[in-house]
């Protein structure tokens, strides 16, 4: 398969200033008439051929300047037209079958609805076009179709006209005045109802807002609407960005490959990130809705007004927009809790990417299939890299840089380099060496040594970075580390300092310390790196209780547990050491449970044990079932040792009535933590409490966490609760997804058997990505089940990939990375995982998506 290289970028040979699209809609035969104004690009290479990308399309009729034209040919799936001059009008007709489009890319049918997904390369499945983000066009769209089947007809921009046609049809015309790349095109037609509201922008433009859903779902759209309005206000207040059309529409569909899509003026969402009410959505779901609504809205500037020159620049819009949505959510709730959640996601999803076979820089140098690069690296690490700029400059100067970026590149297709340059110029900072964060893959490791002589403290910081595919040797990065040194006696530090490590090794000195201090480093997680520092277990207990940086407090707790578990998993721990380690963790947790100054949301974060994926990252190679067993063993011990405190906590929090405020959400989070720790320690007590919580639940957070705990236990209450849950929410697709996920992700020793049975359940379907992920992604990340001895888990996931690939390659390819982690597990399992990858590789036909991931995973 061809490899596309960033270095090979050439400007487009032709520009398309305008496109008119006319859709004759039907579920299985939609006719698309496209009219392109094409102009030779003075900045492009000279050619008489116009190459238009297509994917599984047939050109029905081609005209040039209104006349039938025969000088064209197909080159692979592209249409190549010979043109005599520099400016022409091209007409092309295509016919597509949305119902047959199981890939959910391009124009597809979802439950009688027609909708589009064009990022990254879906537009070429609708019509022939230079389907690349640096070709910006003004779109005029006309669509017509059966009035009963498609009462609502939507596209980008503003509606300009509509009317009735013959034979119970109607039509609508839309015009989007903002030039845009094809990936931002959208069309939706179907039977939908709207929740409407409005927003008045800072300059007095009244914007009509609508969230379109299926009838019956509109009551569950208020939270999304509130989130949208808050996002519009926040982007004005913080980034000075105003909305630029009279209409902003959102449509929620249940069949969707990703989370949502920022099409200009017409965002299309997975229902999962729109629908929420207390009975069916957890607190986590509410946060996700708020975050994704904001994310897509923020793309209107970081993505749409300034778009990407090519797909190698994806992090230009995604990293920046993730940072913006993280900042927004932090402002809406608890900044430290949000920071901890974001770091947890980074460590669970991105660190393993950085250390695995699919590692790539946030701005990749090559790809085979761009869909494979919508990754935690491009998104979440991309956000961390820009966040480091804010650490180096402060928010005020950073915002001068972003304002300059938006002014300078408005209406353009820009590069990551353009962004960095604008921050340099606007914020007044030199980022020459910092640019390596865009170039080098891998998570830097920083080792700290501390010396204390007289009243002087010396910190020696050394950075290293492991080789990654294609990058055997790394250059030193710029690593900003917020640091404080604490006096043990007073419990105070001497003022936080920003240490900027930009050499392989560097020494920093501090005066005025009569005694050796306690080191608090990488506070707020100011840099996305791994730290090894001389902080004793006692010091970690001290920091967990006293650090004034909430993230550092969390981190101290995590490190205390990580170190203990890593030693336990490695088998280098004596019984006495195990007892001492557990005692330290138990004391620290006990103190957190008793600390009256802590709010409950933050308390909940401090009590969550480090995840298995992050633990695995700390080990060169480990038996995943050992990681699981040691982590569960510690949990059980904490459940037993602190039993009275967990029981009291569960009692106290159960008395807090439901609301969405922080205190009530904190209480729900702690109820879950209490049950999770009690379950392995006292299954009968935990089951009784979980059953009571399930039966009396007024909201999905309480109900789901109770069911999760019951599901993990082999108790009589388990089956009854699962059956009740299924009955109660039958027909609600998003909640039934939870029912699948809870069982597939369960700690229950029979999870594999349960998953095999669930794959045969009448509610299971391979056609719906949410359902596939609910069952199989939950299983693939359930280490104790997926890695069970004998390799059955690997076989099941490989079978899934092979069966899903012809249906939905994009979603199928997402599962490959779970098998690609073979270098991190014991040799027996590694061989079994490789064998499954090889079985996939040997399949007679594979999508480009799966082929790329499998080939790279075997290297
Ligand atoms: N561009 C989309 C996003 O918001 C991806 N589907 O991330
Ligand atoms: Zn995005």
pLDDT in tens, 176-216: 999 999 999 999 999 999 999 999 999 999 999 999 999 99
What pLDDT sits at residue 371?
98
Residue positions counted in the chain: 859
Which residues line ligand 1 at a C-beta cut-off of 6 Å? 119, 258, 260-262, 295-296, 299, 318
Tell me the average pLDDT across 15-19: 98
508 and 374, same structural domain? no
Last residue of a domain, one of 165, 187, 209: 187
For residue 511, the tally of other CB atoms under 10 A from its CB is 9
* Shortest-distance Cα residue to atom 3 of ligand 1: 261
Sorting pLDDT into bands at 50, 70 and 90, what band is 769?
A: very high
Last residue of a domain, one of 481, 501, 534: 534
Nearest atom of ligand 1 to the alpha carbon of 295 = 4
For residue 379, how far is its CA from the centre of ligand 1 (angstroms)?
9
Q: Write the pLDDT tens digit of every residue in 521-534.
A: 999 999 999 999 99
Q: Is residue 317 in a domain?
A: yes
466 and 413, same structural domain? no
Q: Is residue 333 in a domain?
A: yes
Residues 433 and 446: their CA atoms lie apart, in Å, by: 17
709 and 580, same structural domain? no
Q: What domain range includes position 511?
A: 445-534
Q: Is residue 64 in a domain?
A: yes
Residues 435 and 437: their CA atoms lie apart, in Å, by: 5
Sign of torsion over alpha carbons 39, 42, 43, 46: positive
Closest CA to 72 of 91, 87, 95: 91
Closest CA to 287 of 326, 258, 261, 324: 326
Pocket test for ligand 1, best of 259, 263, 383 (most atoms within 8 A of CB): 259
- pLDDT > 90: what percent of the chain? 100
> Residues 6 or more apart from 746 whose CB is under 8 A from it?
708, 711, 712, 754, 782, 785
Q: Is residue 489 in a domain?
A: yes
Contact 520, 547 (CB under 8 A): yes
627 and 669, same structural domain? no
557 and 456, same structural domain? no
Residue in the structure block whose two tokens are 């980008």: 156
Ramachandran category for residue 56: left, alpha or beta (phi over 0 → left; psi -120 to 50 → alpha): left
Q: Is residue 229 in a domain?
A: no
Pocket test for ligand 1, best of 118, 184, 258 (most atoms within 8 A of CB): 258
Q: Write the pLDDT tens digit of every residue in 380-414.
A: 999 999 999 999 999 999 999 999 999 999 999 99
Q: Domain containing 147 — which CATH number?
A: 2.60.40.1730
370 and 467, same structural domain? no
Tell me the average pLDDT across 640-653: 98
Task: Say if residue 166's pLDDT is above 90.
Answer: yes
Q: Write the pLDDT tens digit of every residue in 426-459.
A: 999 999 999 999 999 999 999 999 999 999 999 9
Q: Is residue 806 in a domain?
A: no
What pLDDT sits at residue 1?
85
361 and 477, same structural domain? no
582 and 452, same structural domain? no
Nearest atom of ligand 1 to the alpha carbon of 299 = 4
Identify any residues that bridge with 519 across adjacent strands, giving them in sequence order.
485
Q: Is residue 243 in a domain?
A: no
Tell me the average pLDDT across 350-354: 98
Q: Domain containing 491 — which CATH number?
A: 2.60.40.1840
Tell me the average pLDDT across 601-613: 97
607 and 523, same structural domain? no
Q: Write the pLDDT tens digit of every residue in 710-750.
A: 999 999 999 999 999 999 999 999 999 999 999 999 999 99
359 and 401, same structural domain? yes
Q: Domain containing 373 — which CATH number?
A: 1.10.390.10
1 against 375, higher pLDDT: 375
497 and 416, same structural domain? no
Q: Is residue 241 in a domain?
A: no
Total tally of structural domains belonging to the chain: 5
206 CB-side CA count, 13 A: 2
126 and 96, same structural domain? yes
Sorting pLDDT into bands at 50, 70 and 90, what band is 129?
A: very high
> Edge to edge, what strands does the sheet with 113-117 contain?
106-110, 113-117, 187-190, 152-155
For residue 383, how far is its CA from the centre of ligand 1 (angstroms)?
14
Tell me the average pLDDT across 58-86: 96
* Shortest-distance Cα residue to atom 2 of ligand 1: 261
Q: Write the pLDDT tens digit of every residue in 137-148.
A: 999 999 999 999
Instruction: Compute, in degrees rounded to 10, the torsion defined by CA atoms 54, 56, 60, 65.
Output: 0
DSSP assignment of 247-308, as one string?
EEEEEEES--SSSEE--TTEEEEEGGGT---TTT--HHHHHHHHHHHHHHHHTTTBTTTBEE
> Residues 6 or more apart from 320 whose CB is under 8 A from it?
302, 382, 383, 386, 419
Q: Write the pLDDT tens digit of every residue in 569-583.
A: 999 899 999 999 999
Identify any residues that bridge with 576 across adjacent strands, giving them in sequence order.
none
**Claim: this prediction has a pTM higher than 0.90:** yes
Return the active site residues. 296
Last residue of a domain, one of 408, 439, 470: 439
Sorting pLDDT into bands at 50, 70 and 90, what band is 60?
A: confident
Tell me the average pLDDT across 777-800: 98
- Arithmetic mean of pLDDT over the chain: 98
């Amino acid at each position: 398969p061809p490899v596309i290289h960033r270095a090979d970028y050439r400007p487009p040979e032709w520009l398309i200033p305008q496109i008119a699209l006319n859709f004759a809609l039907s579920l299985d035969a939609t006719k698309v008439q496209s009219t392109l104004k094409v102009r030779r690009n003075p900045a492009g290479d000279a050619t008489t051929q116009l190459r238009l990308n297509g994917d599984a399309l047939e050109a029905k009729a081609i005209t040039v300047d209104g006349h039938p034209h025969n000088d064209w040919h197909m080159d692979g799936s592209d249409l190549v037209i010979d043109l005599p001059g520099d400016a022409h009008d091209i007409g092309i007709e295509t016919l597509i079958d949305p119902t047959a489009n199981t890939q959910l890319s391009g124009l597809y049918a979802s439950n009688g609805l027609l909708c589009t997904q064009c990022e990254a390369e879906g537009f070429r499945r609708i019509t022939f076009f230079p389907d690349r983000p640096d070709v910006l066009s003004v779109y005029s769209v006309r669509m017509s179709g059966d009035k009963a089947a498609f009462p609502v007809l939507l596209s980008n921009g503003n509606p300009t006209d509509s009317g009735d046609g013959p034979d119970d049809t109607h039509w609508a015309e839309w015009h989007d005045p903002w030039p845009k790349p094809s990936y931002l095109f959208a069309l939706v037609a179907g039977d939908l109802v709207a929740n409407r509201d409005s927003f008045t922008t800072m300059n007095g433009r009244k914007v009509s807002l609508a969230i379109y859903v299926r009838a019956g779902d509109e009551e569950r759209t208020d939270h999304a609407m509130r989130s949208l309005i808050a996002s519009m206000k926040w982007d004005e207040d913080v980034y000075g960005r105003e909305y630029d059309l009279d209409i902003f529409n959102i449509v929620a569909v249940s069949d969707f490959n990703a989370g949502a899509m920022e099409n200009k003026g017409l965002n299309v969402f997975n229902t999962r990130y729109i629908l929420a009410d207390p009975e069916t959505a957890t607190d986590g779901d509410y946060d996700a809705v708020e975050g994704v609504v904001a994310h897509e809205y923020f793309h209107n500037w970081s993505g749409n007004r300034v778009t990407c020159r090519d797909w190698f620049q994806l992090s230009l819009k995604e990293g920046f927009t993730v940072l913006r949505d993280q900042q927004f959510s932090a402002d809406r709730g608890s900044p430290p809790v949000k920071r901890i959640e974001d770091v947890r996601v980074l460590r669970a999803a991105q660190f393993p990417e950085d250390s695995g076979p699919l590692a790539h820089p946030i701005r990749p140098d090559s790809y085979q299939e761009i869909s494979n690069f919508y990754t935690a690296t491009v998104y979440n690490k991309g956000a961390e890299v820009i966040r480091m700029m804010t650490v180096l400059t402060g928010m005020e100067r950073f915002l001068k840089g972003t304002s300059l970026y938006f002014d300078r590149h408005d209406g353009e297709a820009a590069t990551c380099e353009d962004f960095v340059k604008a921050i340099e110029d606007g914020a007044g900072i030199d980022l020459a060496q910092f640019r390596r964060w865009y170039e080098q893959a891998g998570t830097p490791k920083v080792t700290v040594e501390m010396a204390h002589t007289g009243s002087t403290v010396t910190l020696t910081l050394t950075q290293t970075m492991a080789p990654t595919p294609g990058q055997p040797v790394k250059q030193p990065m710029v690593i900003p580390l917020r640091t404080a040194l604490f006096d043990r006696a007073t419990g105070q530090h001497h003022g936080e300092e920003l240490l900027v490590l930009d050499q392989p090794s560097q020494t920093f000195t501090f005066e005025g310390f009569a005694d050796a201090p306690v080191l608090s480093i990488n506070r707020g997680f100011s840099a996305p790196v791994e730290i090894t520092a001389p902080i004793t277990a006692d010091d970690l207990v001290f920091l967990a209780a006293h650090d004034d940086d909430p993230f550092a407090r969390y981190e101290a707790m995590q490190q205390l547990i990580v170190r203990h578990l890593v030693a336990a998993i490695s088998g280098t721990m004596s019984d006495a050491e195990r007892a001492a380690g557990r005692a330290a963790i138990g004391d620290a947790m006990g103190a957190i449970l008793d600390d009256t100054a802590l709010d409950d949301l933050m308390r909940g974060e401090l009590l969550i044990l480090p995840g298995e994926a992050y633990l695995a990252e700390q080990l060169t190679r480990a038996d995943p079932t050992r990681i699981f067993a040691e982590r569960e063993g510690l949990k059980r011990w904490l459940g037993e040792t602190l039993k009275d405190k967990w029981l009291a906590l569960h009692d106290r929090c159960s008395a807090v009535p439901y609301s969405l405020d922080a205190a009530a959400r904190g209480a729900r989070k702690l109820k879950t933590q209490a049950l999770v720790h009690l379950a392995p320690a006292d299954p009968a007590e935990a089951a009784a409490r979980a059953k009571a919580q399930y039966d009396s639940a007024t909201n999905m957070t309480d109900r789901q966490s109770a069911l999760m705990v019951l599901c993990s236990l082999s108790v009589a209450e388990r089956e009854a609760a699962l059956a009740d849950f299924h009955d109660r929410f039958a027909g609600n697709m998003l909640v039934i997804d939870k029912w699948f996920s809870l069982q597939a992700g369960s700690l229950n020793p029979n999870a594999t058997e349960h998953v095999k049975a669930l794959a045969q359940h009448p509610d299971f379907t391979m056609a719906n990505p949410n359902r596939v992920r609910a069952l199989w992604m939950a299983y693939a990340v359930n280490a104790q089940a997926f890695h069970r001895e004998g390799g059955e888990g690997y076989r099941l996931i490989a079978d899934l990939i092979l069966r899903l690939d012809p249906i939905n390659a994009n979603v199928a390819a997402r599962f490959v990375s779970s098998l690609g982690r073979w270098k991190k597990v014991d040799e027996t399992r590694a061989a079994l995982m490789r064998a499954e990858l090889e079985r996939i590789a040997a399949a007679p036909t594979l999508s480009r998506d799966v082929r790329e991931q499998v080939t790279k995973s075997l290297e």
